[in-house]
């Protein structure tokens, strides 16, 4: 009897410990650790195994500006771009660091790791948006400034309707301050596969009907796909912006530092390597995994002649007798998801950057691959931002933890929302000052999704299933349960 009680108590202890810990212990890279970044590293997650490749061999990170702390907060670039999280940052890693060090960890620096810098630093509630939704504070100047720093006269007014953080109404940090800013809350974008992010599929921004902006250093057009709101044009400008706004490093990065960071970031490639059953994503004739990304050229991975996710086509009739029925079923599901992504049509309506000003009609019938068309990446080969409704009412899910702004157009009304818009994040409009750009966000790569939950710019989808379900609601697609499962299995294998 005593043994039964002891075993029961041990079972309770094990279950309690399991519930208190993240599903997978994260291999955390602290600033200034001086580790060697390997040529190949694999990291388990709930959907399988993520692989990170560093082209041209390993890197000694001692003294490297991507890995060394810069500024007063003890952060480095790697703090928010973790290898195990596909060079982004997952909610699981964020919570693990809080459990390990609490507010002492540089990740929770008040500059952007708190809901507002003036909140009590040691209290969990001060960091709730980061801990519960994976969101960092992004402070955008108001009125907006162009890429040269010149003030833009906006064609809309912005008012704060609701802000549980208090930051937008703060006399020091918010709109009433002497240096007015709008605080929005966003997920960090991955620093990987950048040769595709920087590639251009077209010479103009068709989503606005305007020429692409030019790199001030080279005079050449830029893709504009680096940031959620395209507030910087080049990788160099992004480095300066991140060093100032996230690291608190108010000196300019030196040319040598920029060159070393650029060299590292352009060599990193990441994607899932194995699915949840341990099946390699380049087995059975498929061409998944990050090696293909590292070895191929962006021009060969666009929408011209190569269907997005067609690398999984060999799994549509997975007749390999050496695999188990369960693995065969998962392969076939992933392949069905890829075909659905390419071919399943539905009505797309009221989406700025798609229905207007492109002239495709409103509504129009098309597929997921209309926007996510870059093969093996899932980005859009056409530059420019799109409003899919993830931040703006009436399409955005209710997010009482986020600020809510009222946008009042002073000139022409928004083509889909009208003159008054309610949004959690004005998006690209905070860069251009144009009412027509409210809610527009830069599409990003779909690689490594399994390692970097939550999803969407404001973290409103906790799981891959919630991503599919959002689109199902947004566009009244009517997916079957099997179609949802297939799409989730596809995204988990990217």
In this structure, the answer to whether residues 432 and 315 fall within a common structural domain is yes
In this structure, the answer to whether residues 255 and 333 fall within a common structural domain is no
- Output the tens digit of pLDDT for each of the chain's 494 residues: 433 333 333 333 323 333 333 455 569 999 999 999 999 999 999 999 999 999 999 999 999 999 999 999 999 999 999 999 999 999 999 999 999 999 999 999 999 999 999 999 999 999 999 999 999 999 999 999 998 889 999 999 999 999 999 999 999 999 999 999 999 999 999 999 999 999 877 778 878 778 888 888 888 888 888 899 999 999 999 999 999 899 888 788 999 999 999 999 999 999 999 999 999 999 888 888 899 899 887 765 554 457 899 999 999 887 777 889 999 999 999 999 999 999 999 999 999 999 988 778 999 999 999 999 888 899 888 888 999 999 999 999 889 999 999 999 999 999 999 999 999 999 999 999 999 999 999 998 899 999 999 999 999 999 999 999 999 999 999 999 999 999 999 999 99
In this structure, the answer to whether residues 179 and 31 fall within a common structural domain is yes
Cβ proximity of 392 and 414 under 8 Å: no
Residue 163 lies in a domain: no
* DSSP secondary structure of 53-85: EETTS-EE-TT-TTTS--STT---GGGGSBGGG
Give the residue from 250, 265, 280 where a domain finishes.
265
Give the residue from 217, 242, 265 where a domain finishes.
265
Instruction: Cite the beta strand spans of 88-236 per DSSP E.
Output: 136-141, 156-162, 181-186, 204-205, 210-211
In this structure, the answer to whether residues 340 and 194 fall within a common structural domain is no
Give the residue from 265, 283, 310 where a domain finishes.
265
What are the CA-CA distances from residue 343 to residues 122, 277, 339, 381, 487 (Å)?
50, 27, 6, 18, 12
pTM for the full predicted model: 0.92
Residue 128 lies in a domain: yes
| Whole-angstrom distance, CA of residue 439 vs CA of residue 429 | 7
Query: What is the number of structural domains in the chain?
Result: 2
State both tokens at 235: 């990788």
In this structure, the answer to whether residues 244 and 331 fall within a common structural domain is no
Residue 120 lies in a domain: yes
In this structure, the answer to whether residues 106 and 180 fall within a common structural domain is yes
Distance of CA 349 to the CA centre of its chain: 24
In this structure, the answer to whether residues 57 and 182 fall within a common structural domain is yes
Task: Tell me which residue range forms the domain holding 303.
Answer: 297-492
In this structure, the answer to whether residues 140 and 259 fall within a common structural domain is yes
Residue 436 lies in a domain: yes
Residue 275 lies in a domain: no
In this structure, the answer to whether residues 372 and 431 fall within a common structural domain is yes
In this structure, the answer to whether residues 341 and 429 fall within a common structural domain is yes
- Side-chain-side CA neighbours of residue 167 (13 Å): 28
Residue 89 lies in a domain: yes
Residue 475 lies in a domain: yes
In this structure, the answer to whether residues 178 and 220 fall within a common structural domain is yes
In this structure, the answer to whether residues 230 and 109 fall within a common structural domain is yes
Residue 271 lies in a domain: no
């Amino acid at each position: 009897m005593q043994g039964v009680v002891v075993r029961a108590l041990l079972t309770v202890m094990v279950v309690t410990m399991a519930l208190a810990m993240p599903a997978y212990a994260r291999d955390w890279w602290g600033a200034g650790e001086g580790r060697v970044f390997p040529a190949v590293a694999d990291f388990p997650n709930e959907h399988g195994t993520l692989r990170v490749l560093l082209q041209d061999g390993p890197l000694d990170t001692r003294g490297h500006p991507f890995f060394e702390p810069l500024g007063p907060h003890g952060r480095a670039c790697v703090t928010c771009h973790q290898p195990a999280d596909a060079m982004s940052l997952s909610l699981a890693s964020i919570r693990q660091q809080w459990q390990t060090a609490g507010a002492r960890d540089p990740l929770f620096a008040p500059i952007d790791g708190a809901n507002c810098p003036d909140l009590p630093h040691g209290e969990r509630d001060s960091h709730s948006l980061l801990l519960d939704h994976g969101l960092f504070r992004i402070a955008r100047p108001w009125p907006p400034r162009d890429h040269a720093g010149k003030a833009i006269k906006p064609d809309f007014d912005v008012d704060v309707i609701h802000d549980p953080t208090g930051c937008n109404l703060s006399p020091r940090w918010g709109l009433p301050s002497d240096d007015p800013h709008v605080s929005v809350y966003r997920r960090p974008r991955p620093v990987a596969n950048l040769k595709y992010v920087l590639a251009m599929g077209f010479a103009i921004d068709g989503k606005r009907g305007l020429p692409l902006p030019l790199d001030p250093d080279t005079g050449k057009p830029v893709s504009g796909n680096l940031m959620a709101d395209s507030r910087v044009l080049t990788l160099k400008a992004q480095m300066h912006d991140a060093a100032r706004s996230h690291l608190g490093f108010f000196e300019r990065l030196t040319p040598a530092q920029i060159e070393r960071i650029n060299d590292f970031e352009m060599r990193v490639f990441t994607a899932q390597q194995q699915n949840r059953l341990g099946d390699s994503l380049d087995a059975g004739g498929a061409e998944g995994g990050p090696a293909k990304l590292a070895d191929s050229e962006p021009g060969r991975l666009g929408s011209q002649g190569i269907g997005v996710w067609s690398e999984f086509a060999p799994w549509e009739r997975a007749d390999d007798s050496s695999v188990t029925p369960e693995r065969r079923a998962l392969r076939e599901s992933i392949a069905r998801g890829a075909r659905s992504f390419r071919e399943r049509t539905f009505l797309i309506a009221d989406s700025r950057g798609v229905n207007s000003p492109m002239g495709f009609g409103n509504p129009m019938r098309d597929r997921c691959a209309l926007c996510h068309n870059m093969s093996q990446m899932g980005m859009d080969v056409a530059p420019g931002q799109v409003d899919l409704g993830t931040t703006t009412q009436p399409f955005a899910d209710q997010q009482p933890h986020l600020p809510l702004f009222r946008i009042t157009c002073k000139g022409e009304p928004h083509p889909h929302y009208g003159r008054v818009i309610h949004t959690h994040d004005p998006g690209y409009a905070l860069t251009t000052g144009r009412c027509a750009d409210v809610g527009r966000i830069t599409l990003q790569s779909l690689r490594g999704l399994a390692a970097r939950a939550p999803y969407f710019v404001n973290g409103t989808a906790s799981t891959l299933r919630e991503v599919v379900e959002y689109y199902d609601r947004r566009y009244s697609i009517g997916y079957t349960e099997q179609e949802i499962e297939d799409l989730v299995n596809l995204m988990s294998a990217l």
